[in-house]
Amino acid sequence: MYLIIGSGLSGIVIAERIANVLKKEVLIIEKRNHIAGNIYDFKDENGIFIHKYGPHAFHTNSKKVWDYLSRFTGWYPYFHKVRAVVDGIEVPLPFNLNSIYKAFPPTLAAKLEAKLIDSFGYNEKIPILKLKEFDDKDLQFLSNYIYEKVFLGYTLKQWGLSPEKLYSSVTARVPVYISRDDRYFQDKYQGIPENGYTAMVENIRDNPLIKIELNTDYKDIKNKLKFEKLIYTGCIDEFFDFKFGELCYRSLNFKPKTYDVEFFQSLAQMNYPENHDYTRVTEYKYFLNTQASATTVSFEYPQKYETGKNDPYYPIPNDDNNNMYIKYKEEAEKLDDVIFVGRLAEYKYYNMDQIIARALEVFETVF
Ligand code: UDP
């Protein structure tokens, strides 16, 4: 018997491989009352799919990952677009050449555009912390502007830390982009599962060899369980009873609201680096282009994760946290029959496609 803790993407993909390839039984233990982890979505009374745990736009450059998922879902061809409200003006994100023309008068914008293209080349992506180091008066002005207006406030709200207190890879996820391409991602494959993420996950688990027990906390039953191999996708510190201390994760609180208007905002995701306690507002009908006379949005409020009180969403990537994680990882490596996979178990800021790639790799190498 293979035992999997957690029915998010990593757990469900490994379950699918064990059932369909090895033809062995799998039991998945899930604490929540639904499957699919944080990509869970559901249809509201207006027929709009709501992403309960925040906006998820699928994107990947991996043909292997795309082909794998395409066995379980068709795709609505959606390309994510995001804008940030800066000084009351909506600017495209990642901050790009169009954003420069939105933010500055035309002569200054043209000068900054030329400087960027001369210094880095067209179609290049420059992380903000790199751009800030560049020794040029005009680009210093630009990078300070972007840093102050787009990154600092948002990052302080999102993580409770400034960009410098996090690994630079965090803010490098949204680099300054020397381009006119307003899409949030440039990956080759992009889309939203046409019947929602939950339906896709249900299709992945669709094998009688896979059993799922919902509303079941692994902690409460762990002494009774027998297994050949355990795949654990929860928080790694909890697995080891916090013996090296509590790892910091970041949590979110969503306040959904339905409005009796066709559209609340002009695109799926609007970011608010300044002025509000929420970081972003997501309008869900855009993801599948759902036609409805009403609309549902959710306001996203970051918060501290507290075990048992709210849900962990993100590891907080920096040295202090990683050093503690390494201690847990060393403990994990001593256990031959337990495999730790996923954002929470590997303390890694994986995207959805990276999770699939990781789960497939684990299956190919360990089983
Ligand atoms: N970020 C920011 N301002 C924005 C968007 C992103 O400062 O308007 C920074 C922030 O630190 C954020 C990180 O870039 O946590 C990564 O953003 P992404 O959109 O990838 O976050 P996710 O969708 O994973 O929450």
- Nearest residue by C-alpha to atom 19 in ligand 1: 174
- Nearest residue by C-alpha to atom 23 in ligand 1: 55
Q: Tell me the mean pLDDT in the region 176-199.
A: 98
Per-residue pLDDT of 81-97, as tens digits, reads 999 999 999 999 999 99
Q: Is the CB of 281 under 6 A from ligand 1?
A: no
Q: Is the CB of 273 under 6 A from ligand 1?
A: yes
- Nearest residue by C-alpha to atom 1 in ligand 1: 151
- Nearest residue by C-alpha to atom 14 in ligand 1: 171
CA distance 336 to 259: 52
Q: Is the CB of 171 under 6 A from ligand 1?
A: yes
- Nearest residue by C-alpha to atom 13 in ligand 1: 171
Per-residue pLDDT of 236-295, as tens digits, reads 999 999 999 999 999 999 999 999 999 999 999 999 999 999 999 999 999 999 999 999
Average pLDDT, the chain: 97
CB 200 within 8 A of CB 193: yes
Identify the pLDDT of residue 294: 98
Identify the pLDDT of residue 91: 98
CA distance 149 to 243: 40
- Nearest residue by C-alpha to atom 11 in ligand 1: 155
Q: Tell me the mean pLDDT in the region 159-176.
A: 98
**pLDDT grade, residue 351 (50/70/90)?**
very high
Q: Is the CB of 18 under 6 A from ligand 1?
A: no
Q: Which residues contact 67 (CB under 8 A, 6 or more apart)?
A: none
Identify the pLDDT of residue 360: 98
Q: Which residues contact 225 (CB under 8 A, 6 or more apart)?
A: 3, 29
CA distance 347 to 342: 8
Q: Tell me the mean pLDDT in the region 57-71.
A: 98
CB 217 within 8 A of CB 31: yes
CA distance 7 to 15: 9
All domains of the chain in start order, with CATH = 2-78+193-246+315-366 (3.40.50.720), 97-178 (no CATH)
Element (H, E) at 193: strand 189-193
* pLDDT > 90: percent of the chain: 98
- Nearest residue by C-alpha to atom 21 in ligand 1: 173
Pairing of the two strands 26-29 and 210-213? parallel
CA distance 2 to 15: 8
Q: Mutation test of ligand 1: which of 174, 187, 282 has the most ligand atoms closer than 8 Å to its C-beta?
A: 174
Measured in Å, residue 158 CA sits from the centre of ligand 1 at 8
CA distance 174 to 153: 15
CA distance 217 to 249: 19
In ligand 1, the atom with minimum distance to the C-alpha of 163 is: 11
Identify the pLDDT of residue 265: 98
Measured in Å, residue 1 CA sits from the centre of ligand 1 at 40
Q: Which of 186, 189, 185, 184 is nearest to 63 (CA)?
A: 189
Q: Is the CB of 151 under 6 A from ligand 1?
A: yes
Measured in Å, residue 226 CA sits from the centre of ligand 1 at 41
Measured in Å, residue 367 CA sits from the centre of ligand 1 at 36
- In terms of DSSP H, where are the helices of the chain? 9-17, 63-70, 97-103, 106-120, 128-131, 137-146, 153-159, 168-171, 197-204, 218-221, 236-239, 319-333, 352-366
Q: Which of 268, 60, 63, 280 is nearest to 154 (CA)?
A: 280
Specify the pTM: 0.97
Pairing of the two strands 58-60 and 189-193? antiparallel
In ligand 1, the atom with minimum distance to the C-alpha of 152 is: 7
Q: Is the CB of 94 under 6 A from ligand 1?
A: no
Per-residue pLDDT of 34-63, as tens digits, reads 999 999 999 999 999 999 999 999 999 999
CA distance 227 to 211: 14
- Nearest residue by C-alpha to atom 20 in ligand 1: 173
CB 134 within 8 A of CB 178: no
* pLDDT > 70: percent of the chain: 100
**pLDDT grade, residue 70 (50/70/90)?**
very high
CA distance 343 to 313: 8
